[in-house]
């Protein structure tokens, strides 16, 4: 194409638009659904381009072609109006050549309850904000960055946690970045076929004001944990509007920072009717709650105020941590919980009470939480005992995965059938932290998608 001679026409690329069945089939086989790109060649100007965009799909991904090197930079924006000024790349003219992705309208039929927002950021977005803010990163391309951030062989949990140090300084403390990662997260999950997701994060780890100690070696700024929650809420709501799925959030207390926990619960209370549905406790399981009374006080306040509660427990830690989560913190769900099977009496009791376990198969392999032999994974016991559990991605950026990766693992190595997948997702919906009316609407959507009668799980 001659970039010096603008052509006012659309050019179709990457083949024909897939039918819903073709796209669904590709995704079920572990491939990304076929995507249709349109390239607007040499738009006559900003106004003309804006009109073209408004006539486009309800949701699209905009790829800005940078002048230097012809690199593409993914950008996600709704159809209404032009892109906000805050999203425009610094020091770049309005691009004359760009394309956008039109998402297939495939109804989702999966529920995800355990995924971390700061572990689900697009690498392109990290690179963009690193460059914009002048923050050094270990790579200048997606491929280079991912060599440091992601991995595919088991590491210890502490080694896994070190991965966040490579990229979080590029995101934390920036209003545009915080809102954008929430919005893009919803888009990503919609493309994966997830119809409802609960995403969790620590407001303090995305802030740079009113936090001590300051995370990620940042300088003092003016983004507080409270405003972080507001920005994430807005990003999630914008994503819901544009990508037609439901997204809610869970605010995380951190085991190594008990002084933050009461504030986290206060934020849960403040935003309980604005996207936030629960509180979580994450971090190093060797730090027991009995040694940090602030966590216990925070969870007591959450229970008193009707805030839902989940706790990371029994991931790398022993069954005793699951017992602490359930009986001391009054958790309604357990994040991971694999090692509960090592205490038969506790496991039997939790089966009886239908305690929900948020299982993350690929994560449990890469963090060394479970045996590298998938045929010995505790989820096989969960399946055999018809336990109440869900399948989740945990940190898909670092694990370089999607929800289909986890589904593929349990299908290939653990004998999961289509019926078990349906049961797992219905369990997830029933154990979600949605209000009862919305929960029933979600269940009805799943029953319809699965061709099932209600209560047939």
Task: From 183, 186, 276, select the one nearest 226 (Cα to Cα).
Answer: 276
Model pTM score: 0.78
Same domain, yes or no: 219 and 84: no
How much is the pLDDT for 291?
Answer: 80
**pLDDT, averaged across the chain:** 82
> Which of the listed residues 102, 135, 151 is the one where a domain comes to its end?
102
Average pLDDT value for residue range 312-327 = 97
Taking a C-beta distance cutoff of 8 angstroms, is the pair 279, 251 a contact? yes
Same domain, yes or no: 179 and 56: no
Same domain, yes or no: 156 and 183: yes
Q: Which residue has the higher pLDDT, 29 or 186?
A: 186
SS3 state at 10 = strand
Taking a C-beta distance cutoff of 8 angstroms, is the pair 23, 104 a contact? yes
How much is the pLDDT for 108?
Answer: 60
Same domain, yes or no: 66 and 195: no
SS3 state at 9 = strand
How much is the pLDDT for 455?
Answer: 64
Looking at the domain assignment, is residue 4 inside a domain?
no
Same domain, yes or no: 98 and 129: no
pLDDT in tens, 128-172: 999 999 999 999 999 999 999 999 999 987 789 899 999 999 999
Q: Determine which one of 110, 198, 285, 315 is catalytic.
A: 315
Average pLDDT value for residue range 290-318 = 96
Q: Is the pLDDT of residue 57 over 90?
A: no
Same domain, yes or no: 239 and 305: yes
Q: Which residue has the higher pLDDT, 118 or 455?
A: 118
CA distance 380 to 393: 17
Number of domains observed in the structure of the chain:
2
CA distance 226 to 275: 14
CA distance 372 to 359: 15
Looking at the domain assignment, is residue 2 inside a domain?
no
Task: From 447, 442, 322, select the one nearest 378 (Cα to Cα).
Answer: 322
How much is the pLDDT for 20?
Answer: 36
Average pLDDT value for residue range 314-341 = 98
Looking at the domain assignment, is residue 267 inside a domain?
yes
Give the pLDDT band (50/70/90) at residue 288: confident
The distance of Cα 215 from the centroid of its chain, to the nearest Å, equals 21
Strands 59-65, 72-78: pairing kind = antiparallel
pLDDT in tens, 390-429: 999 999 999 999 999 999 999 999 999 999 999 999 999 9
Looking at the domain assignment, is residue 456 inside a domain?
no
Same domain, yes or no: 155 and 237: yes
Taking a C-beta distance cutoff of 8 angstroms, is the pair 297, 303 a contact? no
Looking at the domain assignment, is residue 160 inside a domain?
yes
Looking at the domain assignment, is residue 455 inside a domain?
no
Give the pLDDT band (50/70/90) at residue 453: confident
Same domain, yes or no: 169 and 305: yes
Looking at the domain assignment, is residue 335 inside a domain?
yes
Domain of 309 in residue numbering reads as: 110-450
Same domain, yes or no: 91 and 232: no
> Which of the listed residues 71, 102, 133 is the one where a domain comes to its end?
102
Taking a C-beta distance cutoff of 8 angstroms, is the pair 172, 207 a contact? yes
Same domain, yes or no: 193 and 329: yes
Same domain, yes or no: 89 and 135: no
Does 315 qualify as catalytic in the annotation? yes
Same domain, yes or no: 52 and 129: no
Give the CATH number for residue 120: 3.20.20.140
Looking at the domain assignment, is residue 406 inside a domain?
yes
Q: Which residue has the higher pLDDT, 347 or 104?
A: 347
């Amino acid at each position: 194409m001659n970039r010096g001679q603008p052509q006012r026409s659309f050019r179709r690329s990457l083949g024909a638009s897939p039918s819903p069945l073709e796209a669904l089939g590709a995704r079920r086989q572990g491939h990304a659904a076929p995507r249709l790109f349109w390239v607007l060649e040499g738009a006559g100007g900003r106004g003309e381009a804006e009109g073209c965009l408004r006539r486009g799909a309800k949701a699209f991904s905009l790829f800005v072609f940078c002048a230097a090197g012809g690199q593409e930079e993914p950008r996600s924006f709704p159809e209404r109006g032009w892109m906000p000024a805050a999203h425009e790349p610094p020091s770049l003219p309005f691009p004359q050549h760009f394309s956008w992705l039109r998402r297939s309208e495939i109804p989702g039929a999966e529920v995800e309850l355990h995924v971390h927002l700061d572990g689900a950021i697009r690498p392109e977005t990290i690179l963009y904000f690193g460059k914009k803010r002048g923050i050094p990163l270990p790579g200048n391309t997606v491929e280079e960055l991912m060599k440091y951030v992601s991995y595919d062989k088991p590491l210890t949990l502490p080694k896994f946690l070190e991965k966040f140090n490579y990229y979080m300084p590029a995101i934390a403390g920036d209003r545009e970045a915080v809102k954008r990662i929430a919005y893009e997260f919803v888009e990503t999950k919609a493309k994966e076929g997830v119809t409802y997701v609960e995403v969790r994060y620590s407001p303090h780890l995305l802030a740079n004001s009113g936090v001590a100690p300051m995370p990620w070696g940042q300088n003092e700024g003016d983004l507080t944990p409270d405003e972080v929650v507001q920005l994430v809420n807005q990003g999630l709501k914008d994503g819901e509007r544009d990508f037609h799925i439901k997204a809610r959030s869970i605010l995380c207390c951190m085991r190594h920072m008990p002084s933050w926990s009461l504030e986290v619960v206060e934020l849960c209370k403040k935003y309980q009717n604005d996207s936030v549905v629960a509180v979580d406790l994450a971090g190093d399981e060797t730090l027991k709650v009995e040694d940090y009374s602030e966590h216990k006080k925070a969870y007591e306040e959450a229970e008193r105020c009707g805030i839902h509660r989940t706790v990371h427990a029994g991931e790398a830690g022993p069954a005793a941590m699951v017992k602490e989560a359930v009986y001391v913190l009054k958790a309604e769900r357990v994040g991971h919980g694999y090692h509960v099977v090592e205490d038969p009496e506790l496991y039997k009791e939790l089966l009886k009470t239908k305690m929900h376990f948020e299982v993350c198969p690929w994560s449990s392999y890469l963090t060394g939480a479970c045996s590298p032999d998938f045929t010995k994974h505790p989820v096989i016991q969960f399946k055999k005992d018809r336990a109440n559990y869900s399948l989740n991605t945990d940190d898909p950026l670092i694990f370089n995965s999607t929800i289909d990766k986890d589904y593929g693992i349990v299908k290939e190595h653990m004998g999961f059938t289509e019926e078990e997948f349906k049961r797992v997702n219905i369990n997830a919906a029933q154990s979600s932290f949605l209000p009862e009316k919305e929960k029933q609407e979600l269940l009805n959507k799943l029953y319809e998608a699965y061709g099932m009668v209600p209560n047939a799980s």
